[in-house]
Structure 1
C-alpha cells in the first residue's frame, strides 16, 4: 500500500471516490465543489488534497499550499483504525467531540447536520479504506 496521503494514495482515493455513486453521485446532485485536504493532527500542514467538482474528484495529490475548503486531520493511529474499519456516524461524532477528528478548516457541525453532505462524508471513509 502507498503511504497514506501520498500522491499515489490520493490518486487511488480519487478513483474510489468517483466509483461510489453514494459518494460522488450524491454530491453531484447538490453541485458539491470543494478542495479537501487531509493530514495528521499536530502537523503544520496537511499532506494530501482532493479537488471535487460537481461531486467528482477531478484532481488529487500532495498539498502544496493551495487554499482549501476543508482540512481534515486525525492521528496516525486514528487514521489506521478508520482505514481498517471505516467509521459510522456515531464513531465520527465521538471522534470529533473527543478531538480525535479535527477540522482545521471547515465546519463539521454544519456539514454533519445536512444529510445531503453527512451521508457522503461517511462514505468517503469507506472509499479511503479501499485504497490498495
Structure 2
C-alpha cells in the first residue's frame, strides 16, 4: 500500500470514491461540491485533499494552501485502525466527542444531522479502506 495521504494513495482513494454509488451518487443527488482535506491531528496543515464536484472527485493531491470546506484530522492510530476496518457511525461519534477526530474546517454537528450527508460520510471511510 502507498503511504496514507500520498499522491498515489489519494488517487486510488478518489477512484474508490467515484466507484461507490452510495457515496458519489448520493452526493451528486444533493449537488455536493467541496474541497476536503485529510491529515493528522496536531499537525499545522493537512496532508492531502480531494476536490469533489457534484459528488465526484475531480482532483486529488497534496495540500498546497488551497481554501478548504472540510479538514478532517485524526491520530495516526485512528487512521490506521479505520483503514483496516471502516468505522461505524458510533465509532465516528466516539472519536469526535473524545477528540481523537477533529474537524479543523467544517461543521461535524451539522453534517451528522443531515441524513443526506451522514451515509456518504460513512461510505467515504469504506472507500478509504479499499486503498491497497
TM-score w.r.t. structure 1 length? 0.99
Could you tell me which residue of structure 2 aligns to residue 7 of structure 1?
7
Query: Unaligned 5+ residue runs, structure 1?
Result: none
Whole-Å separation in 2 of the counterparts to 1:88 and 1:26: 18
Whole-Å separation in 2 of the counterparts to 1:31 and 1:44: 30
Which string of whole-angstrom CA distances, capped at 9 and with x for unpartnered residues, describes residues 53-111 of structure 1?
00000000000000000000001001000110100100000010000110000000000
1:36 aligns with 2:36: yes
The 5 A counterparts of 1:88-127 are: 88-127=88-127
Count matched residues. Answer: 132
Whole-Å separation in 2 of the counterparts to 1:124 and 1:100: 18
Could you tell me which residue of structure 2 aligns to residue 18 of structure 1?
18
Could you tell me which residue of structure 2 aligns to residue 78 of structure 1?
78
Q: Which runs of 4+ in 1 moved over 2 A?
A: none
TM-score w.r.t. structure 2 length? 0.99
RMSD (Å), alpha carbons: 0.4
